[in-house]
Structure 1
Amino acid sequence: MPQYSLRANLHALPRAAWTLFAGAFINRFGTFVMPFLILYLTRHGYSAAQAGLAVSAYGGGHLIAAMLGGHLADSIGRRNTIAFSMFVSCAAMLALSQARAYPAIVAIVLIVGAASEMYRPAAGALIGDLVPREQRVTAFAMFRLANNLGFATGPATAGLLAGHSFFALFIADAATSLLFGSIALTALPHGARTQPNAAHVSGGFRHALRNEPFVIFLLATLCITWIEPQVTSTFPLYLQQSGFSPKTYGFLISLNGALVVLFELALTSWTQRHPPQRILALGYTLFGAGFALIGLAHSIPALVLCVVAWTSGEMIFAPVGGAYASTLAPEQFRGRYQGLYTLTWSAGLLAGPTLGTLLLQSNASAYWVSVAAAGSVGGLLALVRRAA
């Protein structure tokens, strides 16, 4: 059907959406400090445990970002929230470069985590404002592609900078945030805002939590958000215990990234032809099953098949999830809905590595079964229908 062709949907995206994608790429490319923060702190004499706690504070900041970013997006506007997020991130990164006392470092890392991710609910809400429903899956896939391309190229550049000066990482990271914030202020539209009598913190969140289809969607998503961080926690641990080299892990992770970059956008011309609940159910189930099958994979070809399976699930559900959250939300509460959706992923990122590691170490069979079960339950919940 012509209206669902990828070329037609990309051509239909407004200029402001492309500006947002470009800004997201710049910001993600400039994620220079966090991948090297543990190395930076241990070089300054802190223990590995202290460095790990500081990095965990960054994850805690994500929880704050999801809620605060969603509220600000609805109350002061999408553009202003993105700019505020980036400018605070820039200032916090510069402050972190000068911090030496450990409590100050942890506190500033928490602020960096909140500020740098606060723009996401606003960006998701702005996509919902700018893009018609029939093009939203494509738009969210482009937003993900911009972020993935930025992160794929940024750390390599950061590694070169770190070889000369860690301070250069902080300056470059802050500069890219400043650039994205400036682009937001000068080139992005304001986006929708709530009326003053609806702009209090809890109103939109209460509305979202009374929306049964949205709550069911969040519960379905929560089932699989704890699986996502297993890719960088229990997966390398399992491979090491099974006798595979770090090079194998690096290859498999690169394969995941390459598949997403090459095929996710093209898949949207198929996924948006079908009801979002069915697509989410398929994606969640395939994601959980593909990852769980790693427990039965004892060769590199078998592991490759598992990666292809779970990545296929990811490519199916990820763009549809953001678009579905936007569709379920009234315009005046779209930022808060995106904030709650982001919160489910932040919670999984925070709890997933600890939960997965404990399960894998205590009972590996139970761990793999729980991963498959979580994907299946998420898929079944995604199919539940309730009147809005």
Structure 2
Amino acid sequence: MYWRSWDLNLKVRLFGELITHTFFWMYFPFMALYFSDVFGKDVAGLLLMVPPLLGIVANLAGGYLADRIGRRKTMLIAIFSSSVMFALFAFSSSPWMTYVAFIGIGMAGSMYWPASSAMVADLTTEDERRVVFATFYTAMNIGVVAGPVLGSIFFVHYRFELLLACTFVEFVYGVLLFFLIRETLPSLIGKAEASPPKRFSLKEQFRSYAVIFTDKPFAIYILAGILVAIAFMQLDLYMALYVKEHVPSQPLVWWGDWSFSIGGTSAFGWLMGLNGLLVVLFTLPVTRWFQHWSDRNSLILSSVLYGFGLFLMAFTNNIWLLFGCMFVLTLGELIRTPVVQSFISKYAPEDARGQYMGASSLQFSIGRFIAPLAIGLSEWLSPLGVFSIILGISLLSALLYVYMFRLIPEGGGIERTSGYRG
């Protein structure tokens, strides 16, 4: 699907999400250090466990609202809420107020993404979907790569100005959404925007999600995704610890008597930089190469590549071999990401697509919550033992995908347009 043929909704949101995501990553990586400085490491560690849990609630609420009041309205609520929270952050007079604003920004973002993903699915065909999702993922990762570099300057030296800029950018993006995009929720298309929205009901929300999770294939999909997320989150957790403790300083490049050496923390930075660069450069090419692969084979292969990419690190401390392991792992990431989003788009009924998107995000939230346990295991096990467990988790997720697709009709098609799968 060529960019020029995209719906205006997609074009506006691609550029908007690229810019807002870049600003987000200009402050987000530095918040753990900020809270550690003002509250102490122990308190900061406990405080930072709260946002992922509240993010789960916001994700589910965002999916519910996207299917009840519409994608557009849910995104507008989230974006303008985020703008208010950034303003609170900028003018904060205490660390606790900053913490409240930090939580508010995170919850607004969690509410936004199910509606955003559902809108992409509404506006694309099944054949186009992987490439469009891959394009959005590439834009997001440009922000991931560029944001921290810019943030190391602006967050440290011009924090107030940066947060004011974030407030302004979020507000302007909200205004553009209000004037330039249209509603895509199938049940609202052609109806007056002014019609009163359905009343928000917490009881109805819980009932709807309870029905979704009685969908056996979907529940297995979530479980498999949690296992993959636990493995993938180790890039920032156990892999960082392993590289810091076991990778000595060594020449990366050399010429005659001159050499450039890295090791420990600097080696970890180079590995993560390689991951980000590969994601930006190869998301779209890899998506096109694997476009004709089935969802089943793509998800299984990505889980295997995740596991072996990490597992092979246990056998080397050579930086170039570790780069090779990172290449294998990143290939799994690039194969998996667009497939995950397009699969849910096909699997979910149209009138529950936002809720399925919100429920799908649980795999990342829960995986992120459980993943730090690997750090504790490293106190008792050797690196080979920890990486073996990570490999086992990844292979178990692959087996769960095999089982899940046996429960789904041939080709994974869903022969319905409304109602929940029971």
Instruction: Please say whether Structure 1 and Structure 2 have the same fold, judged by a TM-score greater than 0.5.
Output: yes
Structure 2 equivalent of residue 4 of structure 1: none
Find 1:33's aligned residue among 17, 27, 33. 27
Find 1:213's aligned residue among 206, 209, 217. 217
Residue by residue over 1:58-116, the C-alpha shift from the partner in whole angstroms, topping out at 9 and shown as x without a partner, is 33332222111111111111111111111111111222333444544433322221112
Paired residues of 1:292 and 1:368 also in contact (CA < 8 A): yes
1:351–1:179 distance in 2 versus 1, CA, 3 Å: farther
Partner SS state of residue 293, structure 2? coil
Could you tell me how far 1:373 is from its partner in structure 2? Answer: 0.9
1:193–1:202 distance in 2 versus 1, CA, 3 Å: farther
Structure 1 residue 229 corresponds to structure 2 residue 241: no
Structure 2 equivalent of residue 263 of structure 1: 282
Structure 2: gaps spanning 5 or more residues: 189-197, 249-262, 409-420
1:175–1:54 distance in 2 versus 1, CA, 3 Å: farther
CA distance in 1, matches of 2:226, 2:392: 13
Could you tell me how far 1:184 is from its partner in structure 2? Answer: 1.8
The TM-score with structure 1 as length reference comes to 0.91
CA distance in 2, matches of 1:210, 1:51: 37
Alignment of 1:110-259 (within 5 A): 110-192=103-185, 200-242=204-246, 243=248, 244-259=263-278
CA distance in 2, matches of 1:370, 1:10: 42
CA distance in 2, matches of 1:218, 1:349: 14
Give the aligned residue type for 2:28: M
Structure 1 equivalent of residue 376 of structure 2: 358
CA distance in 2, matches of 1:193, 1:203: 22
* Identity %, equivalent residues: 26
1:198–1:170 distance in 2 versus 1, CA, 3 Å: closer
| Greater Cα shift, 227-236 or 326-335 | 227-236
1:34–1:52 distance in 2 versus 1, CA, 3 Å: farther
CA distance in 1, matches of 2:208, 2:348: 10
Paired residues of 1:71 and 1:335 also in contact (CA < 8 A): yes
Could you tell me how far 1:193 is from its partner in structure 2? Answer: 6.0
Paired residues of 1:227 and 1:288 also in contact (CA < 8 A): yes
Could you tell me how far 1:178 is from its partner in structure 2? Answer: 1.6
The TM-score with structure 2 as length reference comes to 0.84
CA distance in 2, matches of 1:12, 1:356: 46
1:138–1:282 distance in 2 versus 1, CA, 3 Å: same
1:207–1:377 distance in 2 versus 1, CA, 3 Å: same
CA distance in 1, matches of 2:145, 2:183: 30
Paired residues of 1:145 and 1:261 also in contact (CA < 8 A): yes
Partner SS state of residue 407, structure 2? coil
Could you tell me how far 1:305 is from its partner in structure 2? Answer: 1.1
Residue by residue over 1:20-61, the C-alpha shift from the partner in whole angstroms, topping out at 9 and shown as x without a partner, is 211111110111332222444456x43233344444333333
Could you tell me how far 1:16 is from its partner in structure 2? Answer: 2.0
CA distance in 2, matches of 1:80, 1:228: 33
CA distance in 2, matches of 1:9, 1:203: 40
Give the aligned residue type for 2:7: P
Structure 1 residue 336 corresponds to structure 2 residue 336: no
Paired residues of 2:298 and 2:339 also in contact (CA < 8 A): yes
Paired residues of 1:213 and 1:386 also in contact (CA < 8 A): yes
Give the aligned residue type for 2:222: L
Give the aligned residue type for 1:291: L
Give the aligned residue type for 2:232: E
Structure having the larger proportion of residues in helix: 1
CA distance in 2, matches of 1:206, 1:228: 28
Paired residues of 1:58 and 1:112 also in contact (CA < 8 A): no
Looking at CA atoms only, which structure, 1 or 2, has the larger radius of gyration?
2
Residue by residue over 1:123-174, the C-alpha shift from the partner in whole angstroms, topping out at 9 and shown as x without a partner, is 1101110011111111111111111112222222223223432212221222
Could you tell me how far 1:320 is from its partner in structure 2? Answer: 0.3
1:160–1:105 distance in 2 versus 1, CA, 3 Å: closer
CA distance in 2, matches of 1:99, 1:53: 21
1:57–1:171 distance in 2 versus 1, CA, 3 Å: farther
Find 1:92's aligned residue among 85, 93, 98. 85
Alignment of 1:2-41 (within 5 A): 8=1, 10=3, 12-31=5-24, 32-41=26-35
Structure 1: gaps spanning 5 or more residues: 1-7
Could you tell me how far 1:309 is from its partner in structure 2? Answer: 0.6
CA distance in 2, matches of 1:283, 1:254: 21
Residue by residue over 1:331-387, the C-alpha shift from the partner in whole angstroms, topping out at 9 and shown as x without a partner, is 1100110001111101112221x2111122221333111111111111121122114
CA distance in 1, matches of 2:3, 2:218: 27
